[in-house]
Amino acid sequence: MQDKFFKDVEVALERIRHIIRQTPLQFSPSLSEESGAEVFLKLENFQVTGSFKARGASNKMTLLSKEDPKKIITASSGNHGSAVAYAAGILKLDTLIFLPESVSPAKLNKIKYLGADYQIKGKTSGDAETEGRIYAEKNHLPFLSPYNDYDVIVGQGTAAAEAYHQMQAIDAVLVCVGGGGLISGIGGYLKQKNSNTKVIACSPSHSAAMHYALEAGYIIDIDHLDTLSDGSAGALEQGSITFEYCQSIVDQSILVSEEEIASAMKSFMDTHQMMIEGSAGTAVAGFLKLKKQLKGKRVLIIICGANISMDKIKEIIA
């Protein structure tokens, strides 16, 4: 990862400050008491589109806007799509978003409300991304990757910049991992501030592309099952820069089951009285799985989003 990464993140934070929201950092009495750690939550579930994705999309689209593109093409499992739609509205840009058949109804509705054009293509987010890239290339339009892009990663890192200024000392950070854009940004920034900060990647066992890539030492094809962590689900693009970034900054990668995610979400929403989606629940579940290891540490959990349907919440409660 580039030595100047943390400086690029801080420049990006100034660039997008008028588009995104500085989210709260909150101490968690319940998780701290349960673990013996000092636990803080970076509440990206309060971000403008209900997800950290607004950061990376806003940074990249602000830079693209200087090129006056006719249209920006992207693909998403949902959160990145609504982030692109939101930023496009502010920056007066035209976009087309490719979404998979598995897109969450709550996330699809948010994209509709934001007025963006979209197409449903393929069963998974990886399929939608392939379709989006083909369309962009055929029509000579820029394609905005949800994670495989330096400017997007830098934008996601602004959450870490805020958290660092809010709490300074961080012994460990837990992040849900899909394509790796968020953990690359978070870990890349915090590691350059303090190389001793432990970066822990949390993946749903039903769809853990980055976990198995790190385990193998290269990006491999794996089977993907439906998961509550739909925001992190799907294949990892061959050649993604996030893989090398994760190799350099991830200290530990763990898997959590659907039962662990559901239990963590239910407990979190009950004790913190706030909405979280499955990918945020994955990070909380990862923390609970490692709570003995993290006892006595000053811990940051990235609560990455809140975009979940009421039907899914009812399912979790049941």
**Domain CATH for 101:** 3.40.50.1100
Residue type, 205: S
Residues 306 and 220 in one domain: yes
Would strands 25-27 and 38-43 be described as parallel, antiparallel, or unpaired?
Answer: antiparallel
More confident residue, 224 or 260: 260
Determine the average pLDDT of the residues in 182-210. Answer: 97
Do 61 and 42 share a structural domain?
A: no
Residue 172 has pLDDT above 90, yes or no: yes
With bands split at pLDDT 50, 70 and 90, how would you rate the model's confidence at 259? Answer: very high
Pair 25, 100 in one domain: no
Q: Which one of 119, 144, 169 terminates a domain?
A: 144
What percent of the chain has pLDDT above 90? 86
280-312 tens-digit pLDDT: 999 999 999 999 999 999 999 999 999 998 888
What distance in Å separates the CA atoms of residue 96 and residue 94, rounded to the nearest whole number?
7
> Same domain for 19 and 122?
no
pLDDT band at 193 (very low <50, low <70, confident <90, very high): very high
The two tokens of residue 61 are: 């689209």
At residue 1 the predicted structure's pLDDT band, cuts being 50, 70 and 90, is low
Q: Which domain holds residue 38?
A: 5-52+150-317
Sign of the dihedral defined by the CA atoms of residues 76, 82, 88, 93, in that order: positive
Q: Are residues 210 and 293 in the same domain?
A: yes
Task: Please state the domain count of the chain.
Answer: 2
Please identify which residue in the block is written with the tokens 């990249």: 60
Give me the chain's average pLDDT, please.
Answer: 95
Domain finish residue from 144, 179, 209: 144
Q: DSSP state, 305?
A: B
Please check whether residues 71 and 195 belong to one and the same domain.
no
